[in-house]
Structure 1
Amino acid sequence: MCHSQQTQLPAHDADVQLAAAQVPQAAACLSTGSRRRRLWELPERAHCPVVGVCLPMPILRRVAEKTFQGRNIDTDYGLHSGAVSECRKRTVLADGMQRELEKRYAMQLRQAARLKQVEALSDWWAQCATTDLAGALWATLTHPRCTPKLEAQILAEVHMLQHQVGTTQPTDNQRLHQLAQDKTQLAAALAQAQARTQQVSRDRHERLQAQQRQIAQLKAELTARDSTVKQLRETVQTLSATTNSVCQRNQANEVALQAQRINALERSLQNTEHECQRRGRVIDAQAAALRGHATAENPARQPVASATKEAIRLENRAVLCVGGRTASVPHYRHIVESTGGRFLHHDGGEEESLTKLDSTLVAADLVICQTGCISHNAYWRVKDYCKRTGKQCVYVETSGTTGLKRALTSLSNQ
């Protein structure tokens, strides 16, 4: 604890004894009303800790320079000692320090003003001194209910705190130095991180600009492509409108030509079929004549021939013919119905749906499959169905009435 230049710096025990001896004198001066004590009304032993703790050196220097109209005091010690001496009575500097203390610790003064008992004030001091020593010291010492005993206790605690601060100051300075070094290292690391961040930001900005340029180029190419497509579509429409009538005429001519060819082939086919039927009848007549001669020569074989002739009768059984030429279908129907059967037909997928083939196979009793005139899919459908159901089926490689008759004979012999 520091004093003015005129006062010797006492030892700790002498200071405590002096504080105890001045308690009655301070008690006589203690106001029993509600008015707070001013700085010059505090005992002299309180001036040093109040000025040293409650007024930081920059604040104290500013107040002093304002009071003494800019006159500078060289050392902090000289400024502190002079300020402590000015507190013994009401002076211009003491008034300036009083105003500064009132302004600086207005909140703590308002808090302490609500305390009406000495015990409450003592408890408040103990609670606030650990976190706000300066504010608690000024508000408690100037409080109307601060007794000499509480005052001596506070000054003793502040005195010991000052010693502890002096003891721990080297450690704090060392810690402060270490913190300063850490700050320098962290500042360097931060500068490096900021430099990297700025570089990353510049790289990202460059990539973004490159992507934007690429997007603009792609948009331009897309616009040009759309324009080209539009021109091509207009050209196609123009060409289509120009050549549509020509194509229609060419298609009509081609259709007519194909129709003529089909008619010529159908007429040729019909002539061929008629010739085949005529030859079949001739062959049948010759075969009947030969069977007649054979019967006359060997009567024992007559029942077999008769049985074969009867076996050809279909007795109202449904015969499905899959495939064959469209022009030959009436001839197929005549042959089947002349033997007593019901005629069914499916073109094997040429024009009729293959799904209809399944239902037609179900309705048939006998199946004749002309393999040369049906689709591959229809052939396998017929073969699979007849194999699964066990239905009689004869496969004929060539179409025509002769093949159909041979197939009927084969079915009757199975």
Structure 2
Amino acid sequence: MQRKTLHENAEFACPIVGTCLTISELRRICRKCGDAVPDEASDYDAHGFLVGQAKVAGGAPAKYLQRFLDKKYRKDLRAFLRVDDPEKLRRMWRERADAGDVPGPFWAIMSHPNVPQWLMREVYGEVHMLSHRVGAANRADLSRLAWLEEKLSEAAAALEDQKSVLRQAVGVWKNRCREAMEELAEQRRQRHAAERERISLKAAIENSAVAAVRRDRDILSRQLAETTKQLEATEAEAGRQALALEKMHAELTTARRDLDDRNSEVTALEASLFAALGDAAAAHAAHAEHHQDDIEALQEGHVCPCREQGLPEGVCGGDCPCPAAQTHPGLAGKRVLYVGGRCSLVAHYKLLASKFGCELMHHDGGREQSAHRLWELLGSADAVVCPVDCVSHEACSLVKQACRGCLKPLILARSSGLSSLARSLAELDAPPAQ
């Protein structure tokens, strides 16, 4: 039985091209197709062209792409073609995917002649969600990497300033050492001259009067003592300069060691970016579980969380023990559109809106739902809430334009949390200022 072609897997052409080809390979294959994709076209345009060509039965680009993938992943194809049992194929895919090897096994599964449709859907779903998780984690990691690069540049600039100061100090020290050595040489020459003069005076003493000799000898002794004292002071200064040089050298060594430590730290932080990808899913699950506890507390009705969570009093509805609990006539029976936010909290958003007596409609801000769907929801909504921290710029601009044109209330919430939504609903529920 022959393997499945790209044309037979037309509905999976997009993930096959995007997962199994690198950007350079994508560009190279597009150049093989002539001038259909110019060099200045974006990577997305090149991807879209190749996906479209892969769906054309018998087309030259589709055949070339088929041969290219078969040659690139021939080892994976041979390994998977030896297996016909779907459960065994599923186990092989799971082992390879958990090990981080996705492109080759993905193509082998998609082109296998005996893979059932349920297994293809399962593998496609994993690859599709993996791209979302990697994209979401990369945005946070890229922000952290940009901050670290900025800190590294600041540290490098500070180290460069320290090096400049140190170089200037070393230059000053060298000049002082040179002057001290010249002064020492001069003192030595003076000492040698005094010694020669002493010898000549000794000879003169033997031929002169004792009084004249003693007088001259005393004068020369004082000069010799002063000269010796100056020489000792000069040598002591030279010693201090030598100690200062050793200290500056030690500081330079310490600065270099600190720079090596910072470089090692940056390397370790860059490696941690890739390790953080695995923690993204756990963080989202913990966040959803935390909010689930808040919702359960609202449903049980034992303790009103209005004040404890900083929410406006009365958002829990008629069962709220707060003295300010009351109905919300301003939102009763109305539809509120929530654009963006976290998909894991959509059920909690709707539950909170029901406490205000209104119906909450949700649009993910363009992650998976289209702009056409957003226009449909805007047409049936009475008011719009948009969290600016978890929505795309395109969706936010579209919402502003639509609400301005249709004169609908729009609340731009600061965050996508439940307390922020509660404050927004309370603001919509408040009566208009007289």
Q: Which TM-score tier does this pair reach, normalised by the shorter chain? A: 0.3 to 0.5
TM-score when normalising by structure 1: 0.39
Q: Identify the structure with the greater helix proportion.
A: 1
Bigger relative contact order (CA 8 A; separation at least 6): 1
Q: TM-score, normalised by structure 2?
A: 0.38
Considering only CA atoms, is the larger Rg found in Structure 1 or Structure 2? Answer: 1
